[in-house]
Amino acid sequence: MNNVAEREVLIPPALAAFVPQPLAGTVHALAGQSMGTTWSVRFCGPARCDLAAVQAALQAELDLVVTQMSHWQPDSLLCQYNRSESGSWRALPAPFWQVLTAGLAVANLSNGAFDPTLGALVDLWGFGPPGPRLVPPTADEIAMARASCGWQRLRLDAATRSVLQPGGLALDFSGIAKGYAVDRLAVCLARLGYPSHLVDIGGELRGCGIKPDGQPWWVALETPEGTALPQTIAALHGLSVATSGDYRRGFVHDGLRYAHTLTLHTGKPLAQAPAAVSVLHPQCMLADAWATALTVLPSRDALALADRQQLAAQIIVRDAGRTVCHRSAALSAMLP
């Protein structure tokens, strides 16, 4: 447990590799909608640059992620896999394979706290395409959905980059795909010749380089409304940040709030989810997945896992009417 000051600043202990640019130029901004949320980028470049071409390139990256990994687009590759016959194998393109194998690696390291196969439970509880619900599902419905989930049911063939459909299993990349999309936009901007940039998709961010004034990209870590904690800001120099928490989505029934974070152990939303979990990592895809995993675990176990994996993590919990902030060793090391 950490007692935080009025305002705290997080600085990477080691700066990411970066070719310095002259402290000049213009900060351009672009924005749009994708993946059920908004996205924005800010990047440093000449006063005159082809913003339409940059926007088109970024949109193409986002469209690729949606086409392959959307749980909401019926003709996406993910939805096609979810509907495929039991015992069938499906060859995967490189982006889908990268996200799936990364998700399974985090699932293994977190003992299933992160699980990209909970699509059936997500839909059952009203957090997927079938739409919201106001009444919790029955015990029988939960048991049936749980039986079709489980990351250990997946079988992969690395030689052919294929995945087996064991029968009724539904992938859901909502805890990792948005972070992956952030990474793709960052790589795209660098490829176009704009190495200094800040990417934001629905609150998941990645920053690289510095602004024309010599400052890094400063961002505030998310905290739920109503908490008395001071603001924490981080310098995203070669870093990403993702936040998960119980305040984002859910519904209330008979005075009980059902948050959108589910666990296969019970097949239900967490009874006592953290208010917010933020993870800083060079890859936003992994920051996204680890933030989800740490949210599922009790705060003490989550903090121990973050320390084992050397993750920079902040865990905000509600305890007896007050809000408490826990920080991993790696995040504490970022304090000046």
Q: What pLDDT digit, counting tens, does each position of 216-257 carry?
A: 999 999 887 766 777 899 999 999 999 987 655 655 655 555
**Region of residue 126 (phi > 0: left; psi between -120 and 50: alpha; otherwise: beta):** left
Q: What is the DSSP letter of 47?
A: S
Q: What are the structure tokens assigned to 155, written together?
A: 């079988």
Contact at 8 Å (CB) between 173 and 78?
Answer: yes
Which run of H or of E encompasses 83? helix 77-83
What pLDDT is attached to residue 274?
85
What pLDDT is attached to residue 24?
58
Whole-structure pTM value: 0.92
Contacts of 162 (CB under 8 A, 6+ apart): 89, 90, 91, 92, 156
What pLDDT is attached to residue 3?
43
Identify the segments of the chain with pLDDT beneath 50: 1-5
What pLDDT is attached to residue 251?
56
* C-alpha closest to that of 296 among 325, 266, 318, 319: 266
Residues 220-237 as b or e (16 or more Cβ within 10 Å = b): ebbbbeebebeebebbbb
* C-alpha closest to that of 172 among 193, 191, 145, 197: 145
Q: Which residues pair with 239 in a beta bridge?
A: 207
What pLDDT is attached to residue 2?
44
The DSSP string of 115-174 is: -TTBHHHHHHTT-STT---SSPPPHHHHHHHHHT--GGG--EETTTTEEE--SS-B---T
What pLDDT is attached to residue 226?
66
The SS3 call for residue 320 is coil
The vertex-272 CA angle with 240 and 71, nearest 5°, equals 55
What angle in degrees, to the nearest 10, is found between the helix axes of 94-109 and 51-69? 60
Q: Measure the CA–CA gap between 149 and 119, rounded to whole angstroms.
A: 8
* C-alpha closest to that of 262 among 180, 172, 163, 133: 172
Average pLDDT, the chain: 90
* C-alpha closest to that of 126 among 243, 236, 262, 6: 262
The SS3 call for residue 323 is strand
What pLDDT is attached to residue 289?
98
Q: Where are the beta strands (DSSP E) in the chain?
A: 7-10, 26-34, 37-45, 89-91, 156-157, 162-164, 197-201, 204-208, 218-220, 231-235, 239-244, 250-253, 256-259, 262-263, 268-269, 276-281, 312-319, 322-327
* C-alpha closest to that of 263 among 222, 294, 303: 294
Position 36, amino acid: G
What pLDDT is attached to residue 126?
87
3-state helix, strand, coil in the chain (%, to 5): 30, 25, 45
Contact at 8 Å (CB) between 202 and 38?
Answer: yes
* C-alpha closest to that of 248 among 229, 270, 263, 268: 270
